[in-house]
Amino acid sequence: MARLTFLLIVLALGACSSTTSVDEIRQSADPLAIEDGDTLVLLGRHDAGHYVTDTNFVNCVAGRMEGIDKLGILEEPLFVDELFPWFEPRTAPKTLKRMKRILSEPLVAKKIEELNLKYLVWMDGHTENIDQAGSLSCAVGVGGAGCFGLLSWNKLSFYEAVVWNLAKMKEEGRVRVDSEGTNYVLGALVPIPLLTQSKGDACIGMGKQLRQFFETES
């Protein structure tokens, strides 16, 4: 029994990894221009019908963008509140044409200038669980308690980032990250979760790729 459990754990751990692919379109291979004090903000899209771009994911990528020379990163909630109500799900610009229209509002233009905002990165996507299989049951009896079985499901993360340059009013590029991995919960008396980090991997992939828009690859 112990050997079988050990074998199952080794097999599950081996399979418990995620596959991540990153695709990118850029207008230029050169790093984007940054002047001292320029800022960037990453905003999640919230206008899709059946999901909301995860704030934690946006924060995770924003964290990975920290430390780029001369470029400040603005926090999403702070930015959205400062520009309220222009970046709400109902009002947020979906195109650069609309962004230009919003910037023609004197109060908005003044605020963007105060914040030194040069780059705006839109993040759209989510993580979902699919293909659940197997079963796990737990029971409590006079002699003790235990869980038996094997439950598995796939975790699929897909996110796209679009980089807008507000000084030039142009799109500088896009990054798409897809990450998929299988999660397991193994019932061997106690439930043993073996979880993949597909969202975490997507964040790492996205952050790394976006940084390359602003930094020379070393």
Partner 1 sequence: MVEVDENRRFPDLLVSAFDVHATLVVDKELENYIASPNKKTKVNIGPSQKEMFEKTIGALFSNTSKVTDKKDVTSDTLGLIITPKVQELQTAIPKDSKLNVYEVWIKYQFDISDNKGNPIADWFMPAYGKTPTSFLRSKEKALELATAMALRDAAANISMTFHRIPEVSRWLEKNDINRVDHDG
Q: Which residues of this protein are in contact with partner 1, per CB under 8 A?
A: 46, 50-52, 54, 81-86, 88-91, 105-108, 111, 126, 128
- Both tokens assigned to 55: 């704030």
Q: How far is the CB of 174 from partner 1 (least distance, A)?
A: 23
What angle, rounded to 10 degrees, do the helices at 198-214 and 55-65 form? 40
Cβ nearer to partner 1, comparing 24 with 75:
75
For residues 20 and 178, the answer to whether their CB atoms sit within 8 Å is yes
Residue 184 Cβ vs partner 1, minimum distance, rounded to whole Å: 17
Smallest separation, CB 45 to partner 1 (Å)? 13
**Sequence-ordered alpha helix ranges (H) in 66-187:** 76-82, 96-103, 106-114
Rounded Cα gap, residues 16 and 35, in angstroms: 43
To the nearest whole angstrom, how small is the minimum distance from the Cβ of residue 3 to partner 1? 34
| Comparison of 19 and 91: residue with beta carbon closer to partner 1 | 91
Number of residues in the chain: 218
Nearest approach in angstroms of CB 131 to partner 1 is 16
Nearest distance in Å: CB 89, partner 1? 7
- Least Cα distance to 189 among 134, 133, 135, 149 occurs for 149
Whichever of 32 and 43 has its CB closer to partner 1, that residue is 43
The residue (of 3 and 50) whose beta carbon lies closer to partner 1 is 50
Of 106 and 141, CB closest to partner 1: 106
Closer CB to partner 1, 29 or 107, in the complex: 107
> CA angle, 71 as apex, 70 and 72 as ends, to 5°?
120
**Pairing label, strands 72-74, 39-44:** parallel
**Contact call for residues 194 and 152 (beta carbons, < 8 A):** no
